[in-house]
Amino acid sequence: MSGIQKRLITAIDTADFSSARELAAAVTPHSGLIKLGLEFFLRNGPQGLTVAGRAPVFLDLKLHDIPNTVAGAVRALLPLGVRMLTVHAGGGAAMVAAAREAAEPAGATRPLVLAVTVLTSLDAAALQSTGVDGAVSAQVLRLGRLALDAGADGLVCSAHEIAALRDAFGGRPILVVPGIRPEGSAVGDQARVMTPQAAVQAGADYIVVGRPITGAGDPGFAAAGIAAAIA
C-alpha cells in the first residue's frame, strides 16, 4: 500500500469551490485522501486543489490520449503534489508507460499512477455495445495486466473484480474501488456496486465513496461511520 493508513477516499462530487472546501474539511479526519475529479478541476483549475487543505489528493482525471500528450499532462500535474492520478488502461501500454515515466522525476513524492479498467457504470451489456465481447471480469483482467506490465502502480476496478485481480496479481497492485454503496444507499448511475465492508474484505486497498457521504445531512458523521465500519 502507499503508506496512507485510512482506506476511505471521499469523492468531492461538486464543482462549487466553497461547498467542496466545507465538505473536505468535514470528512478529512476520517479519509485517507480527498478525490477531486474532472468536473471540479475544469471549473476551478489547479488552484482549486487547495480545497483539500493538508489532506492528500487523488486527482481523478482519467487521462486518455496519445502517449506524448498524456506524458505532457502528467508533467504539468507534478507541481501540484497530488498523491494519486488516473489514466485509462484502454489507452494502451505505451500510454500507461509514458504516464509512469513522466511521473518519475518527482522521485519519492511522485503521484501513484492508477489505471482505470472498466468503469463501474458499465455492465456486460453496456460493454458489449462498445465492441467488447465476453465477461466484464475478463476485460478487467486483460486491461489490468496490460497496465501493470506497463508500469502502473495500481488499478481502479469495481469490487466485483477484486478477487480475480488478487488471484492473478496477488498483493502487487494497489486496488482502488469506486462504486461503493453502504446498505440502503441508492445505487444511482452505478452498475457494479458493493458495500464498504464487503469490498475491503474482498481485498480492496482503498474504497471511494461520494454521494452517500457528500449527500448526507452530516457528511463528517457519514464518513466517520464508513471509516469505522472498515477499520
Residues 6+ apart with CB under 8 A from 34: 9, 10, 12, 24, 27, 28, 51, 52, 55, 56, 57, 58
Q: What angle do CA 44, 86, 132 make, to 5 degrees?
A: 120
Q: What angle do CA 176, 177, 182 make, to 5 degrees?
A: 140
Task: Please state, rounded to an integer, the average pLDDT across all residues of the chain.
Answer: 92
d(CA 8, CA 89): 23
The active-site residue out of 62, 64, 166, 211 is: 62
pLDDT at 167 (0 to 100): 96
pLDDT at 188 (0 to 100): 54
Mean pLDDT of 203-227: 94
Mean pLDDT of 6-32: 95
Which of 6-15, 120-129, 142-151 has the weakest average pLDDT? 120-129
d(CA 42, CA 215): 22
| Residue 134 vs residue 12, higher pLDDT | 12
pLDDT at 3 (0 to 100): 46
How is residue 176 written as a grid cell? Answer: 482502488
All domains in the chain, ordered by first residue: 8-230 (3.20.20.70)
Q: Does the pLDDT at position 37 exceed 70?
A: yes
Residues 6+ apart with CB under 8 A from 193: 120, 158, 159, 179, 180, 181, 187
- What's the pLDDT tens digit per position in 58-77? 999 999 999 999 999 999 99
pLDDT at 134 (0 to 100): 85
Q: Is 6 a catalytic residue?
A: no
pLDDT at 1 (0 to 100): 40
- What's the pLDDT tens digit per position in 171-196? 999 999 998 877 755 555 455 567 89
pLDDT at 2 (0 to 100): 45
